[in-house]
Amino acid sequence: MSLDVLVVGGGNAALCAALMAREAGASVLLLESSPREWRGGNSQHTRNLRCMHDSPQDVLIDAYPEEEYWQDLLKVTGGICDEKLARLAIRASSTCRNWMRKHGVRFQPSLSGTLHLSRTNAFFMGGGKALVNAYYRSAQAMGVQVRYNAKVDSIELDGGRFLAARIGSERIEARACVLAAGGFESNLEWMREAWGQINGEWVADNFLIRGTRYNMGTLLKFMIDAGADAIGDPTQAHMAAIDARAPLYDGGICTRVDSVSLGIMVNNKAERFYDEGEDFWPKRYAIWGRLIAYQPGQTGYSIIDSKAIGRFMPPVFPGVKADTLPELASQLGLDQQTFMRTVNDYNAACRVGTFDHTQLDDCHTEGLALPKTHWARPIDTPPFYAYALRPGITFTYLGLKVNDQSAVHFGGAPSPNLFVAGEMMAGNVLGKGYTAGVGMTIGTAFGRIAGTQAALSAATAQAAAPASTHGA
Ligand SMILES: Cc1cc2nc3c(=O)[nH]c(=O)nc-3n(C[C@H](O)[C@H](O)[C@H](O)COP(=O)(O)OP(=O)(O)OC[C@H]3O[C@@H](n4cnc5c(N)ncnc54)[C@H](O)[C@@H]3O)c2cc1C
């Protein structure tokens, strides 16, 4: 056996693992199931990384201390989060950027129109595609071997020890392995099975996948069936509300519609169903896909008036526009009477103080069974706009349980040479909910840990092997 570390996957977590293992002196082969032009999984669609910092740092303003980052995670996950692993990732986010720069990643301040992120999130210049390309360039320059169209179907194990990966009839041995093959969000059948029927509807049939079509969960399923310890609920996922006209796969960031907190959201019965002003949009955008999933037809409509225009990132596709609210309702095919009652009740309940979309302001409703707690202003200034939205799955949270060395576990015991990173283990930190940029924090932190540990494990195995097998 001549290969030290096999990395399965081709996104951020896999690349971080491959680069760290190679830096530690290991020989590394990376297997990406997609063709070269689609390499990089969901990571190619990203824009930023959430970073802890105690004082202003290059593209980041003010401070975002560990405790605040942790409290943000605690809040969005409702406590379904391993604190030790979360803090490990948070701390790693304060030091990883120099290493990322070394491998060609460049940062820029947050984009204008991106709400509330200039303090907390470092943006990748050129987006995730540029990040992924930089890592591939660096990996290849360092001698990491890369194979595309290389979908691993199964793993050969001896108890909890990795022996080899299989692509069809081909068998690839290595001393250690890192699994970084994403979640199972692209697998429509598995999504259907996980969500089942709600009120007689197969809800997942109306989901759109925001990212890659290559995250089929093949190895996640294989590992769980093979006895690896799993963590998380298969229906939990990062789910944004996206334009209902988005393509089934790879619509990416431009299909997101960020107008929700500036107006009201109604379902296809023309009724509101959740507090649109509960918290800042970066802490709430990832729950709206899920909220819409539970509505009839899995459709929601974000309703705004002209006061909201210019206060959110303009969507790529124009919304429905009308000079009157009844006309807007009829263009959307909503019952006009109910729609007008919903809007009129909301408008009458608004208590407008000092509107400030950058603060949890004092504009709220009073007397509604379902309040809007911030940014509540009457929808009264034509023209009026609406966007039809569907659940957009970003990534699933069901994953493999890990420790602080990112080792896959079997019956509570860590594997000596099989590690996992990225979406495949994000559920250890994200039981539910999301805060923008933490996906890349988790993938970068645990990708780097997994790569280091895999190289160490391979070196230990090499040293322990009988002299005759050295270098064989
Ligand atoms: C539109 C969009 C925008 C996003 N924006 C952000 C953002 O700005 N900030 C942020 O933090 N997070 C963001 N995310 C989430 C982020 O993409 C993920 O958290 C992160 O990229 C996960 O990295 P990963 O390496 O685990 O998975 P991926 O990048 O998805 O990589 C998985 C890889 O595994 C490969 N693969 C799958 N199965 C196999 C197999 N059997 N054999 C071989 N290879 C296989 C896939 O082809 C893919 O290359 C976004 C996601 C989407 C979809």
Among residues 398, 411, 414, 397, the alpha carbon closest in space to that of 449 is found at: 414
Q: Which of ligand 1's atoms lies nearest the C-alpha of 252?
A: 1
Nearest CA owner, ligand 1 atom 50: 46
Whether 403 and 388 map to the same domain: the answer is no
Residues 6+ apart with CB under 8 A from 395: 42, 182, 183, 185, 211, 215, 237, 238, 423, 426, 439
Q: What is the largest CA-CA distance in the chain?
A: 83
Does residue 127 register a pLDDT over 60? yes
Whether 338 and 261 map to the same domain: the answer is yes
Is residue 37 one of the residues assigned to a domain?
yes
Query: How far is residue 333's CA from residue 393's CA, in Å, rounded to a whole number?
Result: 25
pLDDT range class, residue 114, cuts 50, 70, 90: low
Half-sphere exposure of residue 189, counting CA atoms within 13 Å on the CB side? Answer: 4
Among residues 207, 165, 155, the alpha carbon closest in space to that of 186 is found at: 207
Quote the pLDDT of residue 414: 98
Query: How far is residue 381's CA from residue 309's CA, in Å, rounded to a whole number?
Result: 11
Whether 31 and 139 map to the same domain: the answer is yes
- What domain count does the chain have? 2
- Count CB atoms within 10 A of the CB of residue 196: 11
Whether 378 and 409 map to the same domain: the answer is no
Coil, helix or strand at residue 365: strand
Give 447 Cα–ligand 1 centroid separation in angstroms.
Answer: 12
Give 442 Cα–ligand 1 centroid separation in angstroms.
Answer: 11
CATH number, position 320? 3.90.700.10
Q: In the structure encoding, which two tokens stand for residue 81, read together?
A: 């989060």
Buried b (16+ CB within 10 A) or exposed e, 58-89: ebbeeebeeeebbebbeebbeebbbeebbbbb
- Count CB atoms within 10 A of the CB of residue 225: 9
Q: Which of ligand 1's atoms lies nearest the C-alpha of 10?
A: 49
Range of the domain at 15: 5-182+217-234+397-469
Whether 224 and 122 map to the same domain: the answer is yes
Query: How far is residue 407's CA from residue 461's CA, in Å, rounded to a whole number?
Result: 16
CATH number, position 147? 3.50.50.60
CA triplet 215, 220, 223: central angle to 5 degrees? 155
Q: Dump pLDDT digits (tens) for 351-387.
A: 999 999 989 999 999 999 999 999 999 999 999 999 9
In this structure, the strands spanning 399-400 and 230-231 are antiparallel
Query: How far is residue 408's CA from residue 108's CA, in Å, rounded to a whole number?
Result: 35
Give 81 Cα–ligand 1 centroid separation in angstroms.
Answer: 20
pLDDT range class, residue 77, cuts 50, 70, 90: very high
Q: Dump pLDDT digits (tens) for 262-305.
A: 999 999 999 999 999 999 887 788 889 999 999 999 999 999 99
Whether 245 and 229 map to the same domain: the answer is no
DSSP 403-467: -TT-EEEETTEEEEEEEE-GGGTGGGT-SS---TTHHHHHHHHHHHHHHHHHHHHHHHHHHHS-G
Does residue 468 register a pLDDT over 80? no
Whether 227 and 87 map to the same domain: the answer is yes
Whether 244 and 388 map to the same domain: the answer is yes
Last residue of a domain, one of 367, 392, 417: 392
Give 46 Cα–ligand 1 centroid separation in angstroms.
Answer: 9
Is residue 56 one of the residues assigned to a domain?
yes
Q: Which of 46, 117, 151, 218 to mutate to test the pocket of ligand 1 (most atoms within 8 A of CB)?
A: 46
Quote the pLDDT of residue 471: 44
Is residue 205 one of the residues assigned to a domain?
no
DSSP conformational letter for 272: B
Give 368 Cα–ligand 1 centroid separation in angstroms.
Answer: 40
**Cα Rg of the chain, angstroms:** 23
Buried b (16+ CB within 10 A) or exposed e, 437-451: bbbbbbbbbbbbbbb
Is residue 212 one of the residues assigned to a domain?
no
pLDDT range class, residue 115, cuts 50, 70, 90: low
Last residue of a domain, one of 342, 366, 392: 392
Quote the pLDDT of residue 418: 98
Is residue 449 one of the residues assigned to a domain?
yes
DSSP conformational letter for 468: G
Whether 17 and 149 map to the same domain: the answer is yes
Is residue 189 one of the residues assigned to a domain?
no
Whether 349 and 401 map to the same domain: the answer is no
Give 423 Cα–ligand 1 centroid separation in angstroms.
Answer: 7
Nearest CA owner, ligand 1 atom 6: 46
Give 364 Cα–ligand 1 centroid separation in angstroms.
Answer: 37
Quote the pLDDT of residue 467: 63
In this structure, the strands spanning 201-202 and 197-198 are antiparallel
Nearest CA owner, ligand 1 atom 21: 43
Is residue 296 one of the residues assigned to a domain?
yes
Q: Indicate the pTM of the whole model.
A: 0.92
Whether 270 and 348 map to the same domain: the answer is yes
Among residues 32, 11, 9, 394, the alpha carbon closest in space to that of 191 is found at: 394
Residues 6+ apart with CB under 8 A from 244: 299, 388, 389, 390
Give 82 Cα–ligand 1 centroid separation in angstroms.
Answer: 21
Nearest CA owner, ligand 1 atom 26: 422
Whether 151 and 260 map to the same domain: the answer is no
Last residue of a domain, one of 327, 360, 392: 392
Query: How far is residue 175's CA from residue 464's CA, in Å, rounded to a whole number?
Result: 11
Residues 6+ apart with CB under 8 A from 182: 9, 11, 41, 42, 212, 214, 215, 217, 395, 422, 423, 424
Pairwise pLDDT comparison (472 vs 348), residue with the higher score: 348
DSSP conformational letter for 116: T
- Which residues line the pocket of ligand 1, CB cutoff 6 A? 8-14, 31-34, 40-43, 45-49, 150-152, 180-182, 210-212, 214-216, 218-219, 252-253, 394-395, 422-423, 437-440, 443
pLDDT more than 90, % of the chain: 89
Lowest mean pLDDT segment, chosen from 179-183, 196-200, 208-212, 323-327: 196-200
Is residue 413 one of the residues assigned to a domain?
yes
Quote the pLDDT of residue 470: 45
DSSP conformational letter for 357: T
